[in-house]
């Protein structure tokens, strides 16, 4: 079993990340979405170890002190973080792990894990982004406005990612994203074992020739 | 028309590069193999501008002096080189240009064009490499021996490439290689125009909101 690929997915709110992730998980069986730790209380119907790993503030801060997170942040008074050990365990099992996280978290993961694949999901245009936010029908004009404002700030970080995932047609986009992630398995940095095997075999043949 | 992707393909002699390139060219119409310049005389049936651009020694050295090559080398008293202007023209026309060159040339291209895609073609094992060299039936044992010896040296550079292309089943390999090259079109470094367009559109919407 070869080690899985670690991918970080970020993108504008309204780009369709959630739908993309669901489609990816349902169409292929090699992926695992990382589960975050949080100090926020479980909501009705949420299950520990499924939606989040629920932690007390003390537990969370102990994990920070032990460098137990790939990234963590505070949001409205609660901690959220990606537990290193859990991600590592899934990768070791050969799962391709997807972290759906914000830009600052993504850049932190890149610092800790240089060969992580960073993907940024965007609709084909700003007009389409706004259309999608409006068509949800669940957001107030103020919320839409603030998401569009945030998109202006987020766009400044797009070129810190490795690839754009342009979510125009969902099926095409899921397929492209899958191919892109699978291609990383042949990155030379992911194939060190095969490279070492070839070097060794070639040397043995030379010596025995 | 968006700019094409520049890919360098190297690999062990006997890995099947030639067959792979032919299959790639015949199955997809977006690729162009770069044509090299050389000072060696045309052989029977070779055509200028098809097999090579044939140059005199003086012409070739003038091109070197003008930095006209992405890479060049001498081999058995003749110059061989990849002409910068020709490659640039094909990329501008939207062609995905493939350079099939040796390792030292590949590393020179990476220095001049940092976002070039470097692919290394290898059979799945050293045993299979030797089997392919032998089964050609055209090489003397001495030639096979010297190719296997050279493979030992070449293997030391495998991890300077971006991806391994493992040529086990030809059809699978061609398809994977095509997907990998096409995926580079969404590299953020290839998508600067789209990123700038998104930034601008988002700002305009914010100002007009």
Tens of pLDDT, residue by residue over A79-135, are 999 999 999 999 999 999 999 999 999 999 999 999 999 999 999 999 999 999 998
- The answer to whether A192 contacts B159, with C-beta atoms less than 8 Å apart, is yes
Rg (CA), chain A: 20
Summarize the confidence of residues B177-204 as an average pLDDT. 94
The strands making up B78-83's β-sheet, listed across from edge to edge, are B53-54, B37-38, B78-83, B69-75
Q: What's the confidence (pLDDT) of residue B208? A: 83
Q: What's the confidence (pLDDT) of residue B206? A: 85
- The answer to whether B148 contacts A205, with C-beta atoms less than 8 Å apart, is yes
Q: What's the confidence (pLDDT) of residue B139? A: 82
A143 touches chain B (CB under 8 A): no
How much of chain B, in percent, has pLDDT values that exceed 70? Answer: 100
Give the global pTM: 0.90
E strand or H helix that includes residue B137: none
pLDDT at residue B68 tops 80? yes
Query: Residue ranges of the alpha helices (H) in chain B?
Result: 17-27, 57-65, 84-92, 103-112, 126-135, 141-155, 170-183, 192-208
CA-to-CA dists, residue B70 to A185, B36, B90, B113, B115, angstroms: 29, 10, 14, 9, 13
Q: What's the confidence (pLDDT) of residue A1? A: 67
How much of chain B, in percent, has pLDDT values that exceed 90? Answer: 89
Q: Which of A106, A143, A168, A202 best probes binding to B when mutated, by most B CB atoms within 10 angstroms?
A: A202
Q: Confidence class of residue A2 from pLDDT cuts 50, 70 and 90?
A: confident
Residues of chain B contacting A8 with CB distance shorter than 8 Å: none
pLDDT at residue B209 tops 90? no
pLDDT at residue B1 tops 70? no
B126 touches chain A (CB under 8 A): yes
- The answer to whether A152 contacts B199, with C-beta atoms less than 8 Å apart, is yes
Q: How far is B89 from chain A (nearest CA, A)?
A: 25
Instruction: Tell me if B2 sits within 8 A of B81, measured CB to CB.
Output: no
A179: nearest CA partner in chain B = B179
Q: What does the block give as tokens for A194?
A: 């095969």
Q: What does the block give as tokens for B165?
A: 């292309």
A121: nearest CA partner in chain B = B186
Summarize the confidence of residues B16-37 as an average pLDDT. 95
Q: What does the block give as tokens for B109?
A: 């291209």
Q: Shortest CB distance from A201 goes to which of B127, B165, B183?
A: B127
Q: What are residue A39's phi and psi, to 5 degrees? A: -95, 0
Q: What's the confidence (pLDDT) of residue A208? A: 83
Q: Shortest CB distance from B206 goes to which of A148, A201, A206?
A: A148
A183 touches chain B (CB under 8 A): yes
Q: Confidence class of residue A52 from pLDDT cuts 50, 70 and 90?
A: very high
Measured distance CA(B202)–CA(A154) in Å, rounded: 10
Summarize the confidence of residues B172-199 as an average pLDDT. 95
What is chain B's mean pLDDT, rounded?
94
Summarize the confidence of residues A176-205 as an average pLDDT. 94
Summarize the confidence of residues A132-161 as an average pLDDT. 92
**So what's the ipTM on this one?**
0.87
The per-residue pLDDT for range B115-172, each reduced to its tens digit, is 999 999 999 999 999 999 998 888 888 989 999 999 999 999 999 999 999 999 999 9
Query: CB pairs under 8 A, 24+ apart, for A194-198?
Result: A194/B164, A194/B166, A195/B155, A195/B158, A195/B159, A195/B164, A197/B125, A198/B122, A198/B125, A198/B126, A198/B155, A198/B158
- The answer to whether A164 contacts B195, with C-beta atoms less than 8 Å apart, is yes
B189 touches chain A (CB under 8 A): yes
Q: Shortest CB distance from B203 goes to which of A152, A191, A209?
A: A152
């Amino acid at each position: 079993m070869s080690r899985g690929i670690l991918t970080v997915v970020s993108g504008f709110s309204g780009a369709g990340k959630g739908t993309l992730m669901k489609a990816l998980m349902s169409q292929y069986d090699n992926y695992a979405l990382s589960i975050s730790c949080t100090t926020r209380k479980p909501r009705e119907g949420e299950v520990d170890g499924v939606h989040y790993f629920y932690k007390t503030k003390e537990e969370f801060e102990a994990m920070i002190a032990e460098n137990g997170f790939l990234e963590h942040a505070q949001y409205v008074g609660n901690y959220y973080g990606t537990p290193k050990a859990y991600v590592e365990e899934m990768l070791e099992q050969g799962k391709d792990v997807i972290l759906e996280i914000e830009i600052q978290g993504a850049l932190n993961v890149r610092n800790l894990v240089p060969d992580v694949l960073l993907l940024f999901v965007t609709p084909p245009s700003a007009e389409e982004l706004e259309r999608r936010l409006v068509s949800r029908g669940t957001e107030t004009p103020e919320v839409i406005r603030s998401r569009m404002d945030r998109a202006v700030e987020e766009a400044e970080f797009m070129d810190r990612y490795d690839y754009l995932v342009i979510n125009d047609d969902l099926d095409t986009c899921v397929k492209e994203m899958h191919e892109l992630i699978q291609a990383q398995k042949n990155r030379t940095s992911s194939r060190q074992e095969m490279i070492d095997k070839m070097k060794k075999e070639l040397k043995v043949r030379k010596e025995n020739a």
